[in-house]
Amino acid sequence: MNKKPEMRSGLDRLRHSIIYEGVFLFLTVLILKDILNQPVAHIGSFGIIMSLMAMIWNFFYNCAFDHVLIFFKHPLYPRGFKLRVCHSVSFEVGFMLASVPFTMIWMRFSFIQALTMDIVFTMAALTYTLIFNYAYDVIFPVPPAVPD
């Protein structure tokens, strides 16, 4: 008897994205408004759009990541530190392809300014992502595999 791979449901992924982005948006606006000396509304709007972009990317990226693991017959869970690092870094690199051009337009930054901000922000996001995903796995564990 074969077991189905242990994958999170679409609703669980949606909950993950909403909680992740909500907490991250709050922290981002709280910190960036002072660092960039910008109004909360401008930073908040920027953060909401980036958050929506990230949520869409997050959903599709995580589904694809799981399918790649399944294709290579790698267990989905538990996810050790090395796999979490790989997951987080590859997510952020992919997201930067959209976030740097958007940052240039919204913040009226040069490419170098937008790239610098994105790299610094990404380093902070990587740390947050590692901590958040570890905590999420502990708080919302994956249900056991179901036999076929």
pLDDT tens-place values along the chain, 148 residues long:
556 657 788 899 889 988 998 898 899 899 989 988 999 999 999 988 988 898 899 889 999 999 999 998 888 778 888 998 899 889 988 999 989 999 999 999 999 999 999 988 888 888 998 999 999 999 998 877 666 5
The string of DSSP codes covering the chain is --B------HHHHHHHHHHHHHHHHHHHHHHHHHHTT--HHHHHHHHHHHHHHHHHHHHHHHHHHHHHHHHTT---SS--HHHHHHHHHHHHHHHHHHHHHHHHHHHT--HHHHHHHHHHHHHHHHHHHHHHHHHHHHHSPPPPP-B-
Q: What is the pLDDT of residue 125?
A: 82
Q: What is the pLDDT of residue 17?
A: 86
